[in-house]
Amino acid sequence: MEKIYPTIMCGGSGTRLWPLSRSMYPKQFLSLTSDFSMLQETVKRLPQGTADAICICNEEHRFLVAEQLRTIDTKANILLEPEGRNTAPAIALAAFKISEQNPEGLMLVLASDHVIKDRQAFHSAIAVATNAAQKDKLVTFGIVPTVAETGYGYIKQGSELQASVHEVAQFVEKPDKQTAEQYLASGNYLWNSGMFMFKASEYLATLQQYRPDIFEACEKAMAGAQPDLDFIRPERKSFLDCASESIDYAVMEKTADAVVVPLNAGWSDVGSYSALWDVSEQDENNNVLRGDVIPFDTNDCYIHSEHKLIATVGVSNLVVVDTPDAVMVANKDDVQQVKHIVEQLKVSERIESSFHRKVYRPWGNYDSIDMGERFQVKRISVKPGAKLSVQMHHHRAEHWIIVSGTAKVTIDDDTILMSENQSAYIPIGAVHALENPGKLPLEMIEVQSGSYLGEDDIVRFEDRYGRAPEQEEC
């Protein structure tokens, strides 16, 4: 049997789950339904015996993907898209990578932000799809619908080729309510899950047949790919020449070899808070409660606290989400409109659209705990063995106070070791670096003062993580 190569799409911004999900830390990296993130859950439910996964992500999320895989002791190839070009090119990049090792290898294409409750049913569907893919079919997984959903595309099943494998009669766009009810009643339609299985060689051959422009651009991009730490970087210019197209439009709707395998496994794409409420464990009053919450006479609510006590009295059908820098309250029937709040934040150029107060970096994280005119206070955590870039600032000075752990501090030509309760002052213009040489996390407080405190006031001279000098990050 051909080897199965899981290919996990790690893009997406999850705007309907703001303020939990933000563009620099979207829902696939959040722990929404378990102690693991959605990406980690995707990896953990893979069948045994598959090859190392290929994760496809962008520059901004590369260290998040690497760290989350590391914490569950999983090896993977991480492909970095130079820029988003939709699913057809992204899958092509992975297909070229797999073809280098095994042209007949089977790609199992999955999203990183789906919930699948019934792993046994999921694995059974993969086994059925494997058999079809070995016969050169391009398999998509169709979700057995439970309601007349208008937020998904549908797949009309054609004739049955073998047990649980049907020809694809038609791909259908998102329907209105009446049409969705007709689809549900007919029993012939499935939700389009965006999950696929096929031979890498078969996908590339079909893509070359119907979209040779995408095939050629991705072929050139992978021919010029370069390794970078734990990442694989396709050649940028060739990939930017590639058209943006979904796999449905580029391949699946054109080929006569498309088949669909029904999947009934408690699937959800968790596209809104109402969907998250639906797949989460509810109490006797149909509430989903996360964090420090005291409900009284409260029913059918999703309440999530990360920062403070939330108390509710005499309410129902609400979504209440608290994070350290934002509170969102919505009627559960209107949560699809949360995306409009994100749009307003972007128009206003507010940082809350992109970043959480706690920001994750390859060396650790920082939390902006206070800010005022000409000052900012951060709590910084540096992982053992990690080092921030060698850098300087034109507009701010910094004062570092070590809370716990050991710090190796470089200021211009001087390097010293510092421990708990010791501090250092970094003047404006001084070239400096911070490293944790110990085996325990380094915790420290940074007090910035100056005329401008933006993250783009960084001149980077050296960085072990390969970040560009102009990137706006510590």
Q: What is the pLDDT of residue 467?
A: 77
> Looking at the predicted structure, is the pLDDT value of residue 474 above 90?
no
Cα–Cα distance for residue pair 268/114, rounded to 1 Å: 6
Give residue 103's pLDDT: 84
pLDDT of 465: 87
Residue whose C-alpha is closest to residue 364's, from 378, 377, 352: 378
Confidence of residue 298 (pLDDT cuts 50, 70, 90): very high
Residues 243, 173 contacting (CB under 8 angstroms): no
What is the C-alpha separation between 33 and 11, in angstroms, rounded?
Answer: 19
Whole-number Å distance between alpha carbons of 13 and 96: 26
Please give the Cα distance from 46 to 35 (Å, whole number).
17
**pLDDT per residue over 164-180, tens digit each?**
999 999 999 999 999 99
The pLDDT, as a whole number, for residue 222 is 97
Sequence length of the chain is 474
Count CB neighbours of 421 within 10 A.
Answer: 9
Give residue 307's pLDDT: 86
Rounded percentage of the chain residues whose pLDDT exceeds 90: 92
How far is Cα of residue 388 from the mean position of the Cα atoms in its chain? Answer: 24
- Supply the pLDDT for residue 470: 55
- C-alpha separations of 242 from 13, 79, 98, 129, 221 in Å: 22, 16, 20, 29, 9
Say yes or no to pLDDT of 394 above 60: yes
Q: Cα–chain-centroid distance for residue 138? A: 25
pLDDT for the residue numbered 34? 94
In the predicted model, is pLDDT for residue 454 greater than 60? yes
Report whether CATH 3.90.550.10 matches the domain 4-268: yes
Residue 439 pLDDT > 60, yes or no? Answer: yes
Per-residue pLDDT, 52: 95
Whether 278 shows a pLDDT value over 70: the answer reads: yes
How much is the average pLDDT of 315-337? 97
| Residue 211 scores a pLDDT above 90 | yes
Q: Are 422 and 469 in contact (CB under 8 A)?
A: no
Distance separating alpha carbons of residues 390 and 458, to the nearest angstrom: 10
The rounded distance, in Å, linking the Cα atoms of 392 and 379 is: 19
Q: Does the domain spanning 358-462 belong to CATH 3.40.50.880? A: no
Burial of 167 from C-beta contacts in 10 A (0-12 / 13-18 / 19+): middle
Work out the pLDDT band at 24, boundaries 50, 70, 90: very high
Query: What pLDDT does residue 13 have?
Result: 83
What is the H or E stretch that residue 390 is in? strand 390-392
For the chain, the average pLDDT equals 95
d(CA 191, CA 68): 29
Find the range with the poorest average confidence among 221-230, 380-389, 396-405, 425-434.
221-230
Q: pLDDT at position 2, please?
A: 73
CA nearest to 353, candidates 341, 369, 367, 370: 341
The angle formed by the CA atoms of residues 309, 315 and 316, to the nearest 5 degrees, is 115
Which residues, listed in sequence order, are joined to residue 425 by a DSSP beta bridge? 399
Task: Look at residue 324 in the predicted model and tell me its pLDDT.
Answer: 93
Buried b / exposed e along 338-361 (16+ C-beta atoms within 10 A): bbebbeebeeeeeebbbbbbbbbb
Please answer whether residues 79 and 55 qualify as being in contact, where contact means their C-beta atoms are separated by less than 8 angstroms.
yes
Q: What is the DSSP letter of 252?
A: I
Q: Which residue do the tokens 């049955």 mark?
A: 160
Mean pLDDT, residues 284-292 taken together: 98
The amino acid sitting at 417 is L
Question: Which whole-number Å values give the CA distances from 277 to 336, 364, 437, in the listed order?
Answer: 13, 31, 44
Q: At what angle do helices 87-101 and 200-210 cross, to 10 degrees?
A: 130
- Mean pLDDT of the 112-132 span: 97
What is the pLDDT confidence band of residue 473, given thresholds at 50, 70 and 90?
A: low
Kindly give the residue spans of alpha helices, DSSP state H, lying in 114-170. Answer: 119-133
The yes-or-no verdict on residue 472 having pLDDT over 70 is no
Handedness of CA 202, 207, 209, 210 (dihedral sign): positive
Amino acid at 367: D
Quote the CA–CA distance of 474 and 388 in Å, as a whole number.
7
Confidence of residue 14 (pLDDT cuts 50, 70, 90): confident
- Within the chain, which residue ranges are assigned CATH 3.90.550.10? 4-268
Residue 461 has pLDDT above 90, yes or no: yes
pLDDT per position as a tens digit, 39-83 = 999 999 999 999 999 999 998 899 999 999 999 999 999 999 999
pLDDT exceeds 80 at position 149:
yes
Say whether the peptide bond before residue 19 is cis (omega within 30 degrees of 0): yes
Lowest mean pLDDT among 125-129, 294-298, 421-425, 454-458: 454-458
